Structure 1
Amino acid sequence: ELYREDDRKVMESGDSRLNIEEPQTTPEGKYITLLTSKIPLRNSLGEIIGVLGIYIDITERKKMESALKTSEERFRTAAENLTDVVYEWDINQKLDWYGDIDGITGYPPGGYPRTIEGWGMTIHPEDKDRTITALGNHINGTAPYNTEYRIKNSYGDWRWWSARGTVLKNDQGKPYKMIGSITDISEQKDIQNRLIFNSELLSHVGQAIIATDLQGKIMYWNNAAEEIYGWSSAEAMGQNVVILKPAGQTMEKASEIMNELRDGKSWSGEFLVKRKDDSIFPANVTDAPIIDSDGKLIGVIGISSDITERKRTEIERKVMYEINHGGTTTDNLDELLKLIHQSLNKVIYAENCFVALHDQNTGLFSFPFYIDKHDPTPNAELLDKSCTSYIFRTGKSLLLSGRLFDQMVEQDEVELIGTNSPSWIGVPLKIHFSTIGVLVLQHYEKENVYSEGDIQFLEAVGREIANVIERKLTEEETQKHNKQLFKLNAEKDKFFSIIAHDLKSPFNGFLNLTALMADTTEKISLDEFTEYSKMLNKSARNIFILLNNLLEWAQIQKGTIQFTPTVFDLAKLVSRSINSISQGALQKQIDIVNEIHNSQKVFADEKMVDTILRNILSNAVKFTRTGGKVIVKTK
């Protein structure tokens, strides 16, 4: 009846009724929904002659729409209660936000942009191109949409968003809608940036910082750890920290450290650790517990540093003290060099070691200390083009490698002497900037055994060796001067004895003659007085000559006598010398004969020759028997 009523209305009005939803009940009592359309039928004259009715059962579609509506209501309710904000974007049309988008951006209700263009205006300029490109790539199907960018809120502050989304496509495969969500990650970014800063800070710390869990698994490994231990961060992460323990080291120390850490205490100390290349070195380590918010020990953080240089410096200081002490307590150079060799072995490889000293008079090198696995101790030799001689000539230390040696050979600066060694180091021994010798160490099996640091240490040792040698040379020179002084004093005493003896005779004769003259003044004749006066004058002259000899001897000893050569008559000089000692010869009845020809001329210092002749004649008279003869002649 209802349908017939609708039909009459269509026929009477001539208007179609399209897409009318009409609920119906089937004969079976089932509720359905029909979509009806009724159109009037006309004949050729335009008269309505009937109705065309179309019925479509849309019961299932209505159920789906009802379910979708319910789902959307639930979706909106959920979105509004999420901390994230959900968006729905009808491509090229409006942008809907579900959630408190206005609240988190500081806008009044409905104030945050609802268009894709408006949203783009809020993105940070540095992030905009990258974000829009990521969105376009997802719509085009080339990449998922998952990105981070900054947006400006209503207060002008920049907030970090993490955005995700999925595009929906129609039956033709064309995108028509995009649904996704955004999360404000500003706080996480701030924490992340701080963590990055702290990580960068730790990475630039000069000490190795290593964090592990309770099982020893490495969780953090900074740049300094890479440099000190040799493993990269990628290689070390996930490994057990036991990789740093030398093979022979027991676990007792590790247990002791863990007990301290479990008690919430830190531990500091020194022990040996291992590098990636298996080399072992001393490290200073501080381990501290990592405690969670519940006070539970969850890991260990260790700070360590390579103290090889510090330990070496300590040993070097100790060794230098031993050498200094030895230098002040022993005057024996051989003993000191043995002590120095023993001390050197505590710091540096010195199994092959020698000291070469240069003799300025001969130009030869001697070897007061020489210990070597291959070559015997050499005799004193020149070493013209040896590396040792090169150091002596240049006064510079030499750290020799095979390559450098070959270059020096090509340049004709050195040549191989003795057994070749891949590691060779030498330093000059200097006294007041003057090189007196060389200290050399060498290794016959390994290359690069010695370093620049070894040169500095050996130069310090070389200075101490040179100081001891200088002190020894000074002592020897002092002893030599003392012996010379003793000899001079003895010669002086002898000379004074001779002078006293030689003066005694002329003085006695002078005294006796003057006494005779005093006692017989009234009795002596003029001729006798004249003869006595001549004798007195002769004695006085002889005494003067002897005193002059004493003065000349003193000048000779002082080094102040001057050498003044002239041409003089040797016969006359000999006659004067004979007259000076004639009194002593007369007492022993010794005849002195001068066989020097009157024509004999000599070019020399007359005073020096006179002194020599008087000494020779004096000794001749002294050691000639009584009544003998002394002859003076030339050849």
Structure 2
Amino acid sequence: MSSQVDEYYRQLFEQCPVGMVVCRIDGTLIDINPAYGAIVGRTVPETLNLNYWEMMPQKYAAESAILESLEQTGRYAPCEKEYIHKDGHLVPVRLSLVLVEKDGDRLILSTVEDISDLKGAHQERQESEKILKQSEARYRSLVTTNTQIVWVSTPEGICFELESWIAYTGQSLAEAENGGWIDAVHPDDRGYTGEVWSAAVANRSLYQIEYRIRGKDGNYRYFWVWGAPVIEEDGSVQEWIGTCTDIHDRKLAEAENQYLEKRYRSLVTATSQMVWITNPEGLQKADMSNWRAYTGQSVAEADGWGWIDAVHPDDRLHTAEVWSAAVANRSLYEVEYRVRAKDGTYRYFWVCGVPVLEEDGSIQEWVGTCTDIHDRKLAEQTLQQSEQRFRSLINTISQIVWVATPEGVGITSEMLSWMAYTGQTEAEFQGSGWLDVIHPDDRAHTAEAWSVAVANRSLYQTEFRLRGKDGTYRHFSVCGTPILEVDGSIREWIGTCTDIHDRKLAEAENQRLMDMLNHSSDAIIVRDMTDKILYWNQGAQRLYGWTREEAKDQYIYTLLKKTFSQPKEAIVAELLQQGNWEGEVQHLGRNDKLITVQSRWTLQRSISGQPCAVLEINTDISARKQAEIALRQLNQELEARVAERTAALENTLAEAQGLNAILDNLADGLLVTDITGQITHFNPAFLAMYGLTANTVKGHYHELPISGLADLVQKTQSHASEVFAAEVILAKERIGQAVATAIFKRAVANEPTACFGSALLIRDVTAEKEIDKMKTDFISTVSHELRTPLTSVLGFASIIKEKLETDVFPILSSEDRKLQKTIKRVGDNLNIIVSEAERLTSLINDVLDIAKMEAGKVEWQMQPIDPTELLDWATTSTAALFETNGLELITEIEAELPQVIGDRNRLLQVLINLISNAIKFTEFGSITCRIKQQNNAICISIIDTGVGITAEDQPKVFEKFRQVGDTLTDKPKGTGLGLPICKQIVEHHGGRIWVESELGKGSTFSFIIPIYTSNHKTSAKLNLDALVKQLKEHVITTTAVLHENRKTILVVDDDANIRELLRQQLENEGYNVREAKDGVDAIHQIKTARPDLILLDVMMPQINGFDVAAVLKNDPHTADIPIIILSIIENKERGYHIGIDRYLTKPINTEKLLGEIGLLLSQGTSSKKVLVVDKNASTLKILSDVLQTQGYSVIEASNPQECIHKALSAKPDMIIIDSMFSQEADLVKTLRFEKGLENVFFIMLSDN
């Protein structure tokens, strides 16, 4: 049984696939199995002769460690060791050792497993892991550094690795995930992009597409997108990985290539050259349309070498040789030959061809062109001939010809004429040596001009003095130009030096003569045959006012209005026939000043003998003409002849008689006196003007009824060097304009000129005055007539507006937006009507103002005025304009300014006009009002920061109906009368007004008014005699206190529209209204039914409003009825003289009218206050008693000071004043202009 068991274990030991070994502690082998022998590569017998530990490379070190473990634990856990194979290589093994005892002997049982394959697999796995890590690192580096966008997605196509996508597009991770990446794709590309991706994912196929991606800068670029599935071993998709490659530049290049291809095809079609293509061997292809079109060859004729038949026979051999050599050498093909056109003529062509190479360097094809150079060949031949001519010209020309390099260095071979003239040698003129023969004063600017021309490749032009070989300098004009190559570079410089010495001397002499002409006292003008001005000297500028720059190139008739003594056609004919003309001409200069000249014309002819210009010399003889030089010469000659020789008296008398005949036939009156005032000469026109006879005009001028002329004679005698003019009264109420001047004796040698009398010329200007008056009356009448329709327009527009706002609009639907828009539009339109009518009223007032001023009908209320208060009133009146326009008001007023004398309202009108204008033309900034004293006057300036006025427009601003600016494009802002009115007002005050301005920098309008002195005379006192006839007629009582019911108002106007307007306005305010169509009707109605108040027009048929008011105010029963005049004319003075209560002008200001009506009616319900002023106590007592018995409240004053004090404090309704007091300090005017006393009724008590 034991032997069977041993046999079993023995077989198990032998057949075990794992190596087994039994050894002693020292390593002596006892037993091994075949598997162990196979591990170490030995047979069992070979192995048993070895020591167990010798099979390990560690030997004793390994043995010691194993034995120590066996001793401690009895076993050695599995470990990996290496055995030494028989062939020397190491075999990895896994050992397990157990310490056993057998028959008292300690043995080691070990199992050995060859793990070479396992080790190899493990090593391969480690190597794979290392490679995988390197691959992953490289992949990450590639993703980071690659310019492409790398992306990874799940098998289902959901992208999850999008770092580079996010970095490029600027999307966030949340925006790009779950398909959000497609939002960065161009909207036009999204549809098919999604379809292709879905198809690729579904089919697990390659994903390839092109679309545009938006970068984070918002710009789209083209990308080529490629993606591939990563397949597992089982064929499933592990993931998708792909890239987006930027192909935007390539796309643009492809588009550019396509564009170039189209351009090439278009060029081939449109070019004048013949384009040809051959195969690599040099045989022409069939597509030779340009060649065949030109030569007329067919496709078959041109194919292969057939094209050469169209080449000129003399050029074929050379052409074929060059072509064959180019094909063989694959080099550029260039040749020139003649080609026969289909009409049989030959022309020169320049032929060029290049090989088109493949990438491997082989020839794909030949492309070339044939360029027609026939004309160039002919030009070259012509150029050769030109060069020969040029050389001949250089040798024969009188100018110095020079040639220089592009850098400006003279070329020796081309400087022969320079060296011949200057005597310089080749070495001397090299570099900058040529400057040595130029005058020292000219070298610097010559060198600078040459350097600039060379640097800028521009034309070289200058003048300098050049020294000849004889040492003398002469003036030369130098001109040089660069000769350019085809590429624009300079090939050379060529130029000439032209001797202009004689011309320069002539120019200097001519300039000397021109200076003499320019400084001549006469006006010298040269004009061509079309009258265009070629020359205009300083004398012409002084005489006519235009500068040379203004006059040159102008046609003379556009500047000077000429009046000739004979027809101009006759003058021109005489000039052309005789070559000159002389005579007197009257000109109107720049300021419309009449100038009489002695004109001398000389015809200038061209070299061909044709008339080319006219020299005109004009001598001003205006002063002589104005002073009647003929008379002066006569008197001087008479005195000289009498003093020198009596014998010549008969001749002198004959001449005087001839001159007297001329003077006697003058249309103007003539009066001549000697220095003592004795009348020495007069003509019939003078007698007719003054209604005198020849017998009455004797003796001294004081004895004649010519007071106006007498003043002029006195002035000429006291100021003999001046000419005086004045308006005088002629007979039969006619008006004359007189001009007076002193008469001087002709000077004898070494004796001073002496005045020996006066001469006066008188012209009847009655007709001109009447025409001017008719113009003024016409303007006034038209303006007055416009007021009536304006009153209706303004009034009815206001009523319609009020009725719509109070009665119509409130009942209309407020929810209908269209209706509301219409309501607003209607309201706006009515506002426009009212605004424009008010503006027209203002314009009419300006026209009336200027008309009244020109007619002398303005009544000036002159009084002392504080200029500071005047400015305060003006700025207060215009304060709203400053606020509306957002402008700052600045005042600069000197301290302790004296008073001025003037009409307060008129000066206030000037200031308000100037301030309003300044605001109107100033968009932003400030308006400065400055007052200061200048000598004996006050200067007031209005300074703005507006648009300014050009220098040429400044004189026009004070002209009537003139407005600065382009009235065709700019809307006129008024009548253009505001400033002319200001000028009239200021000049009436003895002042002047002017403007200083610069365009874009604002304007300053200034005026001066004389200061007030004690000897100033105030304006004439009001004539109030017509106010009352008898005191009893005006001292009446008011009616009893009026009923509290509605008041009755009588409207008197011949215009039915005005009556209807006033009726509606007054009835709206609760008044009873009655109407009267004229003055007669009004008086009748007032007598039958007394109204509470009367509204009265002035201009009515039969009897005017003033007469109606006079009738009513002179009737005790109607004198107390308040009367308000409503008129289109302004004559308040007359109205208040009559005793009316208020004077308003049309168009009617409804608000003001209703206010005055209410005030007058309310005053009528209580007793009126009367201030009685008289120094006589008894008279004062009688008046007071009478008035008090009539129901008046009486206030007494005995002197002007007391009168002013009580008038200001009590505000009476009427002032009865002794006429003697009214003359003291202009008491009535002083009271009239005090606030609250403007409409007080005055009664003057006269001794008469």
Fold in common (TM above 0.5): no
Q: TM-score, normalised by structure 1?
A: 0.43
Query: How high is the TM-score relative to the length of structure 2?
Result: 0.23
